[in-house]
């Protein structure tokens, strides 16, 4: 894999000249008309969950819909979060990072970037109350000169007083000089081979495959004391609530959904399992696998991507009486597939079954089948298949996973452009 990455780096260095990037340099919007997004839960300190499509009317040029962060704490603090959007990861070189911000209280807003360079400096802006402000930050001020891959957008409001209900609106997030990474890296794909990992799926520790970043594990929901107490009553290594169990199991049965919801479903369900672990290193970090798979898909111009698989034994707390005054632990299994992006930029896609991208607390790999031309085709581990789409727009990929006594039929949705 290192040889593959070295060849990629050499070729990318050749094609990323100033002149070639200038030809691709364009303004790219991350959020403008209500695009959905995701907050990195482990690094989110906003008091309330964000609202991604909010309409409080036209506020001094901030046209709905826009993002709304809000809440109140009983102590003074900074509120921060890392945001992910469909257009990310994205290559940028110079230009400006822009966003419109507005707060119900005067305060200090901070914006920053995270990518292959690590975490950038924070650019602070003092803003008055109830006034829309367009913030434009030279990218070079945040990450220096040269091109870089942007993975996440950091946003925060700092020094928020205790017991002050504050609302922060964010809109029109964009870069003025972003390159067409898919077009640039397509030449790399043509001269390189995908190198499979061939690892034991039950091994939790994974060296970075496409990224050197060490993604932190999701913050555990249980304290050390709670873990010990729960562990005394079960052999399970993960215990979720009944509500989380229902969401995990119902998702795989859905027959229709948007590509964005399809992409986020695997990530969300694995997040529920990961955070409710009773000990660390139960399974490979699903957050890291999702980000790395997304990075590869981006470098392939969304024409090829690994399939993400979760195969996890867990227990859930079920009501033991009609009033749910007592609960009992029941065993279950999550066996689901996912794709790291909702977009495909081709009439066909290469799908890779790499054991690296399986997160499990079991020791065997599931059998993976894909419905092609009306017949189920088995995709062996450490192999790929080229899937042809019938047309553009929202398309469905039907997959079947089986392992042990569990068999799951699932629909994956993508938007073909």
Residue 4: φ, ψ to 5°:
-60, -45
- What are the pLDDT digits (tens) for 376-386? 999 999 999 99
In tens, the pLDDT along 261-286 reads 899 899 999 999 999 999 999 999 99
What is the b/e burial string over 311-347, where b = at least 16 CB atoms within 10 angstroms of the residue's CB?
A: bbbbbbbeeeeeeeeeeebeebbbbbbbbbbbbbbbe
pLDDT for the residue numbered 184: 30
Q: Is 27 a residue whose pLDDT tops 70?
A: yes
Mean pLDDT for the stretch of residues 89-104: 93
The DSSP element (H or E) to which 183 belongs, if any, is helix 181-190
- Highest-confidence range of 12-16, 17-21, 42-46, 277-281, by mean pLDDT? 277-281
Q: pTM for this one?
A: 0.62
Which of 95, 84, 77, 83 is closest to 27 using CA atoms?
A: 95
Are the beta carbons of 328 and 320 closer than 8 angstroms?
yes
Q: CB of 308 within 8 A of CB of 289?
A: yes
The neighbour count for residue 6, using CB atoms within 10 Å, is: 10
> Is the CB of residue 312 less than 8 Å from the CB of residue 359?
yes
Tell me the residue length of the chain.
417
Reference 187, options 54, 325, 20, 389; nearest CA is 20
Encoded tokens for 302: 């969304």
Mind listing the pLDDT tens digit for each residue in 385-405? 999 999 989 999 999 999 999
């Amino acid at each position: 894999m290192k040889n593959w990455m070295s060849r990629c780096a050499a070729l990318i260095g050749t094609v990323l000249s100033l002149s070639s990037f200038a030809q691709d340099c364009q303004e790219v919007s991350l959020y403008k008309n209500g695009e959905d997004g995701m907050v990195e839960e482990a690094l989110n300190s906003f008091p309330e969950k964000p609202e991604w499509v909010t309409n409080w009317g036209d506020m001094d040029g901030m046209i709905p819909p826009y993002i709304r962060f809000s809440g109140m704490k009983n102590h003074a603090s900074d509120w921060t979060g890392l945001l992910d959007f469909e257009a990310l990861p994205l290559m940028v070189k110079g230009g400006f990072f822009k966003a419109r911000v507005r707060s119900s209280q005067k305060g200090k807003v901070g914006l920053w970037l995270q990518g292959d360079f690590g975490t950038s400096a924070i650019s602070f802006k003092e803003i008055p109350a109830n006034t829309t402000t367009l913030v434009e930050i030279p990218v070079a001020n945040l990450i220096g000169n040269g091109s870089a891959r942007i993975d996440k957008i950091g946003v925060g409001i700092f020094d928020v007083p205790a017991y002050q209900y504050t609302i922060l609106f964010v809109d029109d997030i964009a870069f003025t000089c972003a390159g067409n990474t898919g077009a640039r890296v397509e030449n790399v794909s043509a001269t390189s081979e995908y190198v499979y990992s061939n690892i034991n799926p039950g091994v939790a520790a994974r060296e970075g495959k496409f990224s050197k970043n060490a993604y932190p594990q999701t913050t555990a929901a249980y304290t050390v004391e709670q873990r010990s107490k729960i562990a005394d009553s079960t052999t399970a290594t993960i215990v979720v609530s009944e509500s989380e169990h229902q969401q995990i199991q119902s998702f795989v049965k859905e027959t229709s959904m948007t590509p964005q919801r399809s992409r986020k479903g695997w990530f969300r369900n694995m997040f529920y399992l990961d955070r409710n672990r009773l000990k660390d290193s139960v399974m490979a970090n699903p957050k890291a696998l999702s980000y790395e798979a997304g990075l590869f898909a981006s470098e392939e111009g969304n024409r090829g991507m690994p399939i993400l698989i979760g195969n996890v034994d867990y227990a859930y707390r079920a009501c033991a009486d009609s009033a749910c005054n007592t609960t009992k632990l029941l065993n279950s299994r999550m066996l689901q597939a996912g794709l790291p992006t909702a977009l495909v930029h081709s009439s066909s896609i290469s799908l890779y079954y790499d054991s690296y991208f399986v997160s499990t607390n079991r020791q065997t790999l599931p059998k993976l089948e894909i419905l092609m031309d009306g017949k189920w085709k088995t995709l062996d581990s450490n192999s790929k298949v080229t899937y042809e789409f019938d047309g553009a727009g929202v398309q469905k990929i039907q997959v079947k996973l089986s392992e042990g006594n569990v068999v799951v039929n699932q629909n994956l949705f993508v938007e073909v452009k």
